[in-house]
Amino acid sequence: MRNTATAEKIDGPLERIGKIISGTSHMMGSGFTAHHFSEEMFEGRMDPLLMVDHFVMTAPTFEPHLHAGISAVTVMFEDSRGAFLNRDTLGRNVALKAGDLYWLAAASGAAHEEKPEEGARTHALQIFVNLPARLKMEPARALHVPAQEVPVLQGQGHRVRVVLGRSGTAVGAEGTPQEMTMLDGFLERDGCFAHHLREGRQAWIYAVSGGLTVCVQGEAHALEAGSATTVGAGPEAEVMLAATEPAHFVLMAAQPIREPFVKHGPLVMSTAADVRRTLAGYAEGRLGRVPT
C-alpha cells in the first residue's frame, strides 16, 4: 500500500498552465496497448483524476477485478468498432458502443469486467477519479450515457461532444458523485474552441491526436499528440484551444479534492484499515458477484 498526500504539494499554482507531460506506453498480451498517465506525474494538478489510460483493446485482457474509493470511468471514442462488454457487481450487463460513457462509482466497493466482443476494436479512455473521504464508503452506483444522448457543440473549425457537465450552451449528462465536465473535441486545421473554466475548477487536457495550443490568461503551451497538461484551480478563466493541424482532444474539469489517501492498486481509501476491510468484504462475497 502507498500513502499519498497530494494536497500538501499545492498551496496554489504560480502559473495556471502546468507542465507538459508525455504518457508512458505499455501493453499486455497481444490485445491491449495503452498510453498511461498517473497523478504522480502531475504533482497534484491532476486532482481529482488519479489515472488515465488511453487504450486500444482487441481481446479480453483483464479478469473481473475490484475497485473501491474511486470511480472507474470508460469513455468510448467514436471510432471504436463493435461493442465493449461491461459486467459489474451492480448487476449491470451493458454493451458499450462507440461514443458511450460508463461511470462506475465504486465507492465502498464494486467489481467489474470489461472486454471487447469478438472482432471488436475498443478505442477509449479508462479513467480513475478519486472520491472525497465522505463518499468513499457510500454504496456503489453507475451511470451509462449513450452516445446519442451526448450534445454536440459545432462551429467554424470545431466539433465538441459535451459528455458530462456544461460548456457554452450545451449541457451534458449530470449525476456523477462530484460535478465533472468532460469534453471530447475535434479541431480542424486553424480551428479553435474556448471553454469557460469556472472558479475553483482544475482542468486536465490531453491531445489524443494531432497538435494543439492551450492558452489561458496570456500563457500558451503547445501539446503534441500523446501529451497532456493541466490548468490549475483559481479564478474563472477562458481556456482556448487552437490547432494548426487537425486535432482530437479531451478536456476534463472538476474541483480538486486535496485530501490524503492510501492507494492499493485500484483501491484508493482514506486509511489502510479501510483497504483491508474492503478486500475482506470482497473475499467473503459481501460486495456481490459479477454476473455470468
Residue 3: the pLDDT is 61
Does 292 map to a domain? no
Q: Are residues 119 and 157 in the same domain?
A: no
Q: Are residues 123 and 171 in the same domain?
A: no
Q: Are residues 212 and 81 in the same domain?
A: no
Q: Domain span at residue 238? A: 13-22+150-256
The Cα-based distances of 281 to 242, 261, 285 in angstroms read 49, 20, 6
Its pTM stands at 0.93
Rounded distance between C-alpha atoms, residue 233 and residue 143, angstroms: 26
Q: Are residues 154 and 250 in the same domain?
A: yes
Q: Are residues 85 and 221 in the same domain?
A: no
Q: Which CATH number do you get for residue 205?
A: 2.60.120.10
Does 182 map to a domain? yes
Cis peptide before 48 (omega within 30 of 0): yes
Q: Are residues 136 and 155 in the same domain?
A: no
Structural domain count of the chain: 2
10-residue stretch averages of pLDDT, the chain, 292 residues long: 50 75 91 96 95 96 91 98 95 95 96 94 98 96 97 96 96 95 97 97 97 95 97 96 96 97 93 93 81 68
The strand pairing partners of 104, in sequence order, are: 72, 142
Does 235 map to a domain? yes
Q: Are residues 184 and 95 in the same domain?
A: no
The SS3 call for residue 272 is helix
The Cα-based distances of 205 to 98, 186, 190, 214, 222 in angstroms read 21, 13, 19, 9, 11
Does 261 map to a domain? no
Q: Quick one: DSSP state of residue 189?
A: T
Does 204 map to a domain? yes
Residue 86: the pLDDT is 94
Residue 281: the pLDDT is 87
Q: Are residues 233 and 169 in the same domain?
A: yes
Query: How, if at all, do strands 237-242 and 32-38 pair?
Result: unpaired
Does 39 map to a domain? no
Q: Are residues 202 and 139 in the same domain?
A: no
Q: Are residues 185 and 211 in the same domain?
A: yes
Q: Are residues 141 and 155 in the same domain?
A: no
Q: Are residues 157 and 182 in the same domain?
A: yes
Does 221 map to a domain? yes
Q: Quick one: DSSP state of residue 83?
A: -
Does 139 map to a domain? yes
